[in-house]
Each structure stands twice: as structure tokens, then as C-alpha cells.
Structure 1
């Protein structure tokens, strides 16, 4: 069974989802849905109370709810209550909200779109482009971001071909690459930018994205050249790939007199883009 984690946008709010290829259906984070519909900052408590209420009413919906690992606000993959589209439709009936009907239509739409994307993978890129535009990113930044997704995929495919495991091993190698070129682990980088649950790459500047791409592309190319066989050997390759970008960064900083790695995040970037547009 192949599962793909993805962030969907409903009225500019993020909803965590997982696509299950075998069952050909989406599984959606229930607490994210509750947060969108109720705008509460206590979605976990709301869900706990709702489960108790449904149980007392004799409903079996909550009993069929499963759990899958999704990225938590701290960046770690944690088990989260999820529901498929049919289960969500039934749950939404128990949540008073003016957004209930628009949300149902949205759910049906993303389910249909995913089936279309399986037939035509280019649609995935088109929809990612549309989502970033809706959030207010510049087209130049979006082009870099989409390219970074492609390069990241090529790197993780290379790691998989070496027998490395998703999760801790991928995270360790990613941290080595990041530390080697930027001087910061992923966590340290996010702290610098004032991020919590937000995606780090979505908050990088154009230059940061380009250098991160160079680091990951270099890691993949070096790996294919030297054929590392153990995790320790892959860690050395990750450091070498990161160092390629570090050299480029240091030369750029020497020419411009400006630091590349900065605290600028998406909010700052988007405000800057708005000023330029005006």
C-alpha cells in the first residue's frame, strides 16, 4: 500500500491529508477539519467531546475512525485521527458551521482531482502552482519552489534505491545537508525564521531555495557517482553535497556583503511582493 502525505488548502487554511493508492481514497485529519469549520483553537478538545456525544447517541462513526502518521506542529510524524470522505461527510453533519456545505463540495472536488492526477501527473504541478498563487507568492519564487520539489523527489528516490528508510534516516541526512551548507539543522533553521508547523521550504527566499536545491542535487549526483552502501557512507555523501552549496554561498556573500540565511519568512516575503506590485 502506497500512501502520499499532502497539504490541501481550504479557504487558505491548511488541511493535512493522505492519499491511499490501494484504496484510491483520501484520509483527512479530523482535527484540521474541525479547526476549519469551527475556527476553534481547541480542536482536539472539540473532537474528544464530539466523540463522546456520538457514542452516547449510538453512532458508530467515531468507532470506525482510524489513525495514520501525519506531520505534527513540531515537525515530527505522529499518529492522528483520520477519516475518509464518506466518514467526514457524516461527521460534518454533527458540527454546526456555515462552512459545512462548501467544505463538503471541496472534499468531493479534491477526491476527483486526485483521480485525474493519477491519469495525468502534470496536473499535480499545475494545482501546486495554483495554490501558491492563491497564497500570494510571486511567480519567480513559485518556479523555484516547484523545481525544489522535483529535486527533492529525485534525491529521496536515490536514497530509497540505496535501501535507506523514510523517517529517521531521511531526516538525519536532510539535517546533515542543511547543516553543511547553511550552518543550521532543519529545526534550527525554522527557529531562526520563527516557524512552528509551517513548512521551512515555503518560507525560504529565492536564494535560499536555490542553494538548498544545489545541495540536494549535488548529494544525489555524488551518491550516484560513488555508490554508498551503508548509512554512514550516505551521511558522508550528504555532507559533501551540502558543502558544494556552502562554497557557492560563501562566494556569493563575499561578493554582495550580505548573509544568505536569514530570518525572512513567508509573511515577510509576501508583504515584500505586495509592495513591489504596488
Structure 2
């Protein structure tokens, strides 16, 4: 936030809890100059080992990065207190990392089974305004497993998670959510599917409309995306939407990089965390 934009690399991360060569973790890397965010490069990480190694790479002298990561960084306080888990973020993450995915699934399934219809899941304060799935959800999408796979390597690599965990100030990770920005620009239209049979012309048109809106700067973030013709075609042609989701996270990171406290509300819960650029009453519209 205090460094010049020329020395700041911005990164958007479309995360997978089980990356492969066919479905990698996608990185969109760029820089901001004023209200323009230029996509400079894209990168694919095909394993969690590669992801951890990338996080651990030290920032070059005089350089720093701010990244928007599409995975939850915290659980709801209601869930944590009900389960009797640690109510401080670092001990909670250590406890969570020690669980197997099967233990997580069984624990959360039992939690939901004991609750009334319509209130099965416990939500964070930011989930509703962001339109995000509860971070305890283990299927469709499995964000609970994404946190389990994605956050511990951040801690081990010494990355800073503002509001949650102090680390290297030159490597800053923020929780992003591409659906928040996409819905602002194209409403509830679907623009992606991992199922090739569902990668329809309608979804292609939706991706093109979303890209056009980003390039024209039509969101409340006040930023315009700068793409080459080849980049524009590449984003539109990716029917999974993963490359475009990484770019949406890149724009959210770019917005946050110029905001006090990365745009987080002063009263954000230090256990739950916050999805960057989510509207909140204390700070106006964003």
C-alpha cells in the first residue's frame, strides 16, 4: 500500500485443493498503473508441492506482491465455538491442519445433521454480503478442503495474511472471491463449467461480456483491465473459467492494494477473516 505501484506485483489465484496438469492452480500476474491493471503473465501450478514452493519464494529486493486467493481463510465463529475448537486464528489453523479430510467431512456433516432445515451451515459475517459459500462446505464447492490445503502452506512459507497472521510484509495474501465481482458485472449468468458438455455458447458469450465489462472498468472497484488480443481470446476460450477467475481475483487484489488496511472493515472478526472488496456498512459500498 505504501510502495510504488511499479514495485508491486499483483497476483490472482484460482485455487484447487487437488491440482493436476489438467486442472491446475491458476495464477494471473499483473501490475497496476493508476486505474489500469495490466495482465502480464499467467502460470499453472500442477501440484500442492509446487504451490507451497511458489509461496516460499522470497520477494526480490525492492519488490513485493499482493495476491487475491480464491479460498477461505477462516471458519465462522459460531462453528468454532460450537465444536469447541481454538478461538484464536493461529491455534485454530494448526488444529484444522492436523485433521484429515475424512475427519473434517464427518465433523461438519454431524454439525449440520444436528441443526434445523435451512440453517444447516454456519456462516461467516462476510459470506452473505459476498454471496459466498460457507467455508465449512465440503462439496459443491469443497471450500473446507481448499482451506485445509491452501492456508497451512501460507503459514509455513511466512506469508502475511492481514488481520489474521503477521508474516513477510513483502508477500501479502488476501482472501478473494471471483463470484462477487462476476455477479456485479453479469448478474447470475453462468460463465463456466468444468463439464465440457456444459461449456455452451451461452457461457462463452457470458465470459466475453464479463471480459468486456472488466476492460471497460464498469465495476465499483474503479479499475480497468488491460489485455492483449491473445490474452482476451485465451480467457474467453477457457470453458472452465479458471483463467478468468484468476483474473477476477487479480482485480480484487489490485483494488485492495491501494486501500487502507486492504479494504477490510475495522471490525472484521480476527478469527473469521474477510473476503476482499465485500461491501460493508462501516466503510460504505466497498
Give the TM-score category using the shorter length.
Answer: under 0.3
Q: As a proportion of its length, which structure holds more helix?
A: 1
Q: Provide the TM-score with structure 2 as the length reference.
A: 0.24
Tell me the TM-score normalized by structure 1.
0.24
